[in-house]
Structure 1
């Protein structure tokens, strides 16, 4: 959310994710069975998605917020076209969303070294529920409107304030909520499409990532030659 003089800040931001530690990917692997069940019940490609966890007001908030975090621009589609809201909603129905991957008995020590792991009593789906409600309460107090009713400039101001930890939320620290939203937005934009996001592999195509291709026999020895084939999903879908 911070301003940048770089003409391609979104591309550089996403490129850094390609070499980031794979901790979130490891968590995704642990959810394989539950994710498969979620995928089985998912609507077919191209069908309108109906959220299963978020209510309509929350769903509107998620769509408005992620549109700011990864907007569409001349580099390609943004979070909405990539299906990031669907990805986030589906994650809330997995063990990850229910906090079943972590020790959740406390004691909790918010604000300590991040390597200590999850340090609040709320699980991710609760962070969203309380965070959205708290953000709307803050917007009502400041602007007499809900977040989705604000103009784009005011919405961005609210998100930047949350990123900086300025608002005092009643139920969840605003910085924690913003971090959760931003992290899941990144994951939804760059995950395998079978999880609901990165539709048509728009994130991968923007980065030049090849996805789950079976082999690259013969290509390493070609040297600095651009790989000519598009990405492939784990499911076999080709971009």
Structure 2
């Protein structure tokens, strides 16, 4: 899969349709993020691995691999895994039958398509094989009709990945948002901005 810059991925997510069963509210995302952070901290403290609440071991491994391909680590920050995105997605599935069904069907589709193409599951494929499949479903306008189910699933797992990443502390740091900052005095607009607008301050 072509590595999509994070900012470009966000632009696509804004206009991506959310498939039935996978829609969520900001409050649900905040709750899932808080639960994921606590679970990761507890696992770290006890020197154990995270135990998923909904996803099977194989499904969790698939989600981990998939989200890391969507948002890999780069020179600016870590990737989806280090930000706890797989754990976030697992908590987003709790007590949501329609969402669970959509997620499970999508993961099943991914494995079925990989077996048809490469005779093995998604996690067992090589990076090149996985990338070739994701390239076929990452761009809705280029995709053939027989891959529509995969396109819908990928659009929504990509949205979940972005939500999970940018609600984490690592994701917030990645945005480099400093919030409102107090200024002791007003310096005015930068000269280049004024020049672009064709205006200037009165003497």
Change (3 A) 1:189 1:44: closer
Deviation, structure 1 residue 163? 2.1
| Mapped partners of 1:66, 1:126: distance in 2 | 19
**Contact in 2 for aligned 1:167/1:174 (Cα 8 Å):** no
TM-score, normalised relative to structure 2: 0.70
Alpha-carbon displacement from aligned partner over 1:93-134 (angstroms, at most 9, x marks no partner): 15xx44xxxxxxxxxxxxxxxxxxxxxxxx322111011111
Residue in 1 that maps onto 2:50? 49
**Do residues 13 (structure 1) and 8 (structure 2) align?**
yes
4+ runs deviating over 6 angstroms: none
Residue in 1 that maps onto 2:26? 28
| Mapped partners of 2:94, 2:134: distance in 1 | 25
Higher percent of residues as helix = 2
Q: Which has the higher contact order (CA 8 A, sep 6+)?
A: 2
TM-score, normalised relative to structure 1: 0.60
Equivalent residue runs for 1:1-239 within 5 Å: 2=2, 9-10=5-6, 12-13=7-8, 16=11, 27-29=25-27, 31=28, 35=31, 39=35, 42-43=38-39, 45=41, 47=43, 48-93=49-94, 97-98=96-97, 123-164=98-139, 165-166=143-144, 168=146, 173-191=149-167, 198=168, 201-210=169-178, 216=180, 218-219=182-183
Change (3 A) 1:143 1:43: same
| Unmatched segments (≥5 aa) in structure 1 | 99-122, 192-197, 225-239
Change (3 A) 1:220 1:59: farther
**Contact in 2 for aligned 1:15/1:207 (Cα 8 Å):** no
| Unmatched segments (≥5 aa) in structure 2 | 19-23, 44-48, 189-203
Residue in 2 that maps onto 1:231? none
| Mapped partners of 2:36, 2:163: distance in 1 | 20
The alignment's C-alpha RMSD in Å is 3.6
| Mapped partners of 1:75, 1:85: distance in 2 | 20
| Mapped partners of 1:145, 1:206: distance in 2 | 35
Change (3 A) 1:49 1:40: closer
